[in-house]
Amino acid sequence: MWGLIVSISVLCLVVVVFKISFKRLPLPPGPEAKFWTGNVHQLPTTEPWLTYAKWSQNHGPVVFFRVHGRRMLILNTLKVALDLLESRASLYSDRPMAWMYKELVGRKLAVFNISVKHPRFKIYRKLLQSGLNQRATRTYRAIQEEETKILLRGLARSPEQFVSHIRRNAGAVILKVAYGWTVAENDDYFVSLMEESFKVHAEIVKPGRWLVDTYPILRFIPKWFPFASFQRQAEIYRKEFSRIDTVPHAWAKEQIESGHYVDSFTSLNLRPDDGHNPDPEEEDMIKWCSSALYAGGADTVVGVVTAFFLLMSLHPHVQRRAQAEIDRVVGNRLPSIDDEPHLPYVSALLKEVLRWAPVSPLGLPHRLVEDDSYNGYWIPKGTTVYANIWAIAHDPDLYPDPSRFDPERFLPPQGAEPQLNPRKYVFGFGRRVCPGAHFAEMSAFLVISNIIATFNISKALDGTGREIEPQVAFTTAVTSHVQPFPCRITVRSPELLGSLDLENGTNTLT
């Protein structure tokens, strides 16, 4: 008995000493902070991943800074990201608490926000995996191919609206997969609803935007209080997001109950083959997962395909080589997803788009659940951790001449090793890796290969016939897209366009 007590006492002493030794280590290096506000004055308002990459040149791959009382850590190389987010996933897979967004706006149960410790976390992942694994995504090919044909027709009719056509395509695919909803036009109600959610989300989650995130006690201030405008704004945001979650789900449920519905993620889970009727808790989880399909899938594909248009206008020789490969391999028909293994250059082109313009340059934030040490530094519990995916994708140690767009880096000469496939990091790390990565990649491949086969993309011309050099700049949000730019899109293969056979579908929204 005494031996057991002594052993426990020694173990406790070791734990205490271990924790004290952590705190004797220095914090990771970073820019000098002010006493009260930390590094708020140094936070960039646009493209923060570029600033963090510059900081790493002075402070090393692991950069620490503070926003008021919140500790932040940026991982600027693949090695440190893998060391912490993959090898120590049990410590780094949680999400930080954003009081405004999660608590006051009511988004704490959203799939991408939920704590890894919450009982729903594993259920969410299981539900999404069942609908997004490689076998399941094969059943969506007819939807993807039909919507790609509609995209091609749209580009032929109004090429100047190419971004709207891209958004319609991505939204149409994922809305039919998630809910069975058929998008009829570019200004579709559900697509517009989801696009608005992206804008609202980007506004809410800006670092340092809300004082309540730094001082959570402020959340108890009533909304009628003179300085509680954030409470009133949170109520507006909460109502907006409630529409986004509930309206599509309610429509899908109504269709299912009427017996006139298209098979979808929602229908397959609300009416599973085993006959089990989900209870209200299970239905709520299905609703959140369906919403996550759009949030995680559509905007990613829009970002990739929009960047593709910019890059093709800047690199016509890349476009010509991809077209030659499709002509040689596919012939006089539109490419399909099954052609992907036989189109290595087009596949390499997609990889290079993912690398050159990563859609989520900082990924989603992770949270450290207990004190940790790394390379002689102390990382405190509760630290918010970002992987600087943009910096990894432009690391000259991984990608020589990283600013150059060059698909051939993934097609080296015989005997040489290809450069690292960006798929290994652009979709996240550890337990938080995007479950729909394969589906997003295949959607992007199908769209890109069909556009290459059917159209020529080049720089726009001004009134005198001179080429307009597009500005290369990116939006600043969780998912970052190239900012609007002009380009010229002309039909390359009228025969392929003439072969399109489209089916029409309609919805009734009550």
Q: What pLDDT is recorded for position 22? A: 57
Half-sphere exposure of 202 (CA within 13 A, CB side): 19
pTM: 0.90
- For residue range 373-427, list pLDDT tens digits in order: 999 999 999 999 999 999 999 999 999 999 999 999 999 887 788 999 999 999 9
- For residue range 352-376, list pLDDT tens digits in order: 999 999 999 999 999 999 999 999 9
Distance CA 454, CA 474 (A): 27
**Angle ∠(308,197,449) on CA atoms, nearest 5:** 20
CB 260 within 8 A of CB 148: no
Q: What pLDDT is recorded for position 456? A: 97
Q: How confident is the model at residue 274 (pLDDT cuts 50, 70, 90)?
A: low
Q: What pLDDT is recorded for position 111? A: 92
Does position 125 have pLDDT exceeding 50, yes or no? Answer: yes
DSSP 34: B
Q: What pLDDT is recorded for position 14? A: 42
Note the helical H segments in 105-183: 120-132, 134-138, 141-157, 162-179
Under CATH, which number does the domain 17-498 receive? 1.10.630.10
Q: pLDDT over 90 for what percent of the chain? A: 64
Nearest to 153 by CA among 486, 462, 480, 451: 451
Q: How confident is the model at residue 225 (pLDDT cuts 50, 70, 90)?
A: confident
Residues 15-42, mean pLDDT to the nearest whole number? 78
Annotated binding residues, written as ranges, equal: 434
Would you list the domain boundaries of the chain? Answer: 17-498
Point out the least confidently predicted range of 44-58, 142-156, 227-241, 336-350.
227-241
Annotated binding residues for heme, written as ranges, equal: 434
